[in-house]
Amino acid sequence: MKLEKIKVLSNDEIQTIHSASMELLSSVGIKVDAKDARDLFENRGAEVDNATNFVKIPESLIKEQLKTVPNSFKLYGPDGSFNFEVNTISTKFATIGTPVKLYDSSHPKELRKVIFKDNIKQIRIVDSLEHIMCSHVDIWPSDIPYLELHCHCIREWARHSFKPYGLGCLGKVASQDMMNLLMIIVGS
């Protein structure tokens, strides 16, 4: 499938958003709860307020760090048989969203809470779609404890998909868990 690049905003609108973003990051900042992350910002020249956990990031620091970002990278599925390049030239599609309820045709008069079996179905569906390159935790199950969700989702992704999979950052411990689980799955 060849698609033309979709252009939703004009160059002026993009510049307006960029300028406002730079102004907010440098004058208001963002809240960064992790002390080690605040230290990284401070070591690179950002203004850190440890009393409020806010970090003000000057535009010069952002521009400097953007120079270190590669032009492209590859995402791989669990066994390495499927991969694709993410870049600034081509368009790739992925799933995203996190509903907590869904329509179930077996109960046509009501929405029901999402359960973990729905996550597994979603992983399998995305795996079968030619033009969707990867999926994420796109539905939020009510029957899995929040602090365990990432472990269960990664396990089922490895069982049922050959495409890349993503989870949001659910905190430092969960993120480290996910990296450890992925190293076990892919072998390094």
> Would you put residue 83 in left (φ > 0), alpha (ψ -120 to 50) or beta?
beta
pLDDT, tens digit (0-9, with 9 covering 90-100), for 120-134: 999 999 999 999 999
Neighbours of 157 (CB within 10 A): 29
Q: Which uninterrupted H or E stretch holds 21?
A: helix 11-27
User: What is the pTM assigned to this prediction?
Assistant: 0.73
Q: Which uninterrupted H or E stretch holds 102?
A: strand 101-103
Q: Choose between 35 and 188: higher pLDDT.
A: 35
pLDDT, tens digit (0-9, with 9 covering 90-100), for 135-173: 888 888 899 998 888 889 888 988 999 999 887 777 778
Kindly give the pairing relationship between strand 72-76 and strand 47-49.
Answer: unpaired
